[in-house]
Amino acid sequence: FSHTTASWADAGSICAQLGSKLAEPKSRQEANFLKSHSQSLDKSFYLGISDLVEEGIWEYSSTHEPITFNLFHPGEPCCYLRENCLIMWEPFHGDWGDVTCSDPYYYVCEVDDGGSPSVIG
């Protein structure tokens, strides 16, 4: 979990410099772990999920595979065409929301060590 803010693209680059990527929760269990930790920090965090490739199709940024579940807050995603990047939204208690990718937010990097995901940064 970062201590600084960045745009979604810059956050992805920072994670890559750390030998990682923006966190991509592949299960509800992992997503709920990240959500719980984000709530304890009282901040909103970017994840490695967007609909930049095709509007309305939310996918993991590293593989372009569509997500198979979501934790979107009721009424989200919204603001089609303008908001294409996903955050764990602090006002929604860590539920997912979509935001403009150029807006600065905190972010979560993860390292895939072949086992359980590890969160760094």
The candidate with the shortest Cα–Cα distance to 112, out of 48, 53, 52, is 48
Whether the upstream peptide bond of residue 77 has omega within 30° of 0, thus cis, is: yes
- Tens digit of pLDDT at every position of the chain (121 positions): 999 999 999 999 999 999 999 999 999 999 999 999 999 999 999 999 999 999 999 999 999 999 999 999 999 998 778 999 999 999 999 999 999 999 999 999 999 776 555 555 5
Pick the CATH number of 8-120 from 3.10.100.10, 1.10.3720.10, 3.40.1360.10, 3.30.565.10: 3.10.100.10
Strand ranges, E, within 1-121: 21-22, 45-50, 59-60, 85-88, 96-99, 106-107, 109-111, 118-120
The model's pTM is: 0.91
pLDDT of residue 120: 55
pLDDT of 118 reads 53
